[in-house]
């Protein structure tokens, strides 16, 4: 298919690479800043654009911009009956209704960074304004992913919330642990195997059945010792207490 990318950030970059890798043609890459559009366009053998009015014809237009910019960008497009999708998890497909009569969602349920050397598996949640639009989007998604699922706006929002919890919240905890290790002169890299092991286990068993640690064991002595270690780190101590209480109540 012939594709036009509207955006040049992490999502646009990784999707652009995957789309090109699977044999599709990226015709143009749009960004407000030419210095952002040009490098990605050159990588994808496309033409950089800084004006939405300069976009040509394509089979599918992919809007990959920040969530709060989607509706504004869409309102500046006049694509008539050409298919346009956005890539956001928590934005309704109806945000695109001013851009075209045919619209939908192509949401990559993955943390995407342009610096990653290898593109990870990317499940897609898709939706369309009509059954024909949905079929086109679904078929296109299947060319770039082995896992494609139809999801309504409401279903997608709930999965996006879950994604924030398992990805953003977990990563924040990693950052807190790394900072604590630096201050306590511990080697954070020694935790890499543990992080990888815990993440890999949940592919085969429910996380609820895999919980370990002093909170689930109600090991009060260890809990007190940990709180003592955190007496000079009140923010971490509060988080520790919050998670301890949550785990204990979950398994009570």
Provide DSSP, 208-238: GGS--SHHHHT-HHHHHHHHHHTTT-HHHHH
Tell me the C-alpha distance between 21 and 154, whole Å.
31
Residue 249, pLDDT score: 97
Q: Report pTM.
A: 0.92
Confidence label for 131 from pLDDT (cuts 50, 70 and 90): very high
For CATH 3.40.50.720, list the domain ranges present in the chain. 2-151
CATH match for 2-151 among 3.40.50.720, 3.30.300.30, 3.40.50.10710, 3.40.50.300: 3.40.50.720
Span 62-107, pLDDT tens digits? 999 999 999 999 999 999 999 999 999 999 999 999 999 999 999 9
Residue 115, pLDDT score: 95
Residue 56 contacts residue 80 (beta carbons within 8 Å): no
Distances (CA, A) of 19 to 4, 12, 155: 11, 10, 25
- CATH (residue range 157-250): 1.10.1040.20
Residue 31 contacts residue 90 (beta carbons within 8 Å): no
For CATH 1.10.1040.20, list the domain ranges present in the chain. 157-250
- Cβ neighbors of 37 (< 8 A, separation 6 or more) are 8, 29, 30, 31, 48, 49, 50
Maximal C-alpha separation, the chain: 67
């Amino acid at each position: 298919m012939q594709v036009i990318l509207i955006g040049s950030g992490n999502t646009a970059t990784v999707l652009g690479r995957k789309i090109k890798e699977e044999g599709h043609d990226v015709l143009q890459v749009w960004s407000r800043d030419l210095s952002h559009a040009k490098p990605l366009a050159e990588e994808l053998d496309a033409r950089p654009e800084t004006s939405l009015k300069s976009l040509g014809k394509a089979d599918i237009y992919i809007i990959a911009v920040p969530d709060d910019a989607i509706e504004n960008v869409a309102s500046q497009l006049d694509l008539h009956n050409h298919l346009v999708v956005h890539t956001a998890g928590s934005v309704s497909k109806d945000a695109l209704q001013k851009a075209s009569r045919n619209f939908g969602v192509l949401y990559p349920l993955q943390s995407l960074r342009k610096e990653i050397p290898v593109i990870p598996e990317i499940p897609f949640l898709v939706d369309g304004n009509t059954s024909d639009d949905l079929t086109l989007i679904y078929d296109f998604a299947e060319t770039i992913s082995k896992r494609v699922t139809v999801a309504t706006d409401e279903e997608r929002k709930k999965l996006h919330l879950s994604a924030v919890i398992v990805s953003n919240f977990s990563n924040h905890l990693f950052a807190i642990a790394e900072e604590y290790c630096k201050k306590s002169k511990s080697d954070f890299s020694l935790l890499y195997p543990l992080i990888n092991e815990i993440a890999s286990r949940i592919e085969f068993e429910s996380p609820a059945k895999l919980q370990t640690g002093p909170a689930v064991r109600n090991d009060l002595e260890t809990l007190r010792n940990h709180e003592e270690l955190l007496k000079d780190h009140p923010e971490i101590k509060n988080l520790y207490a919050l998670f301890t209480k949550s785990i204990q109540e979950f398994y009570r």
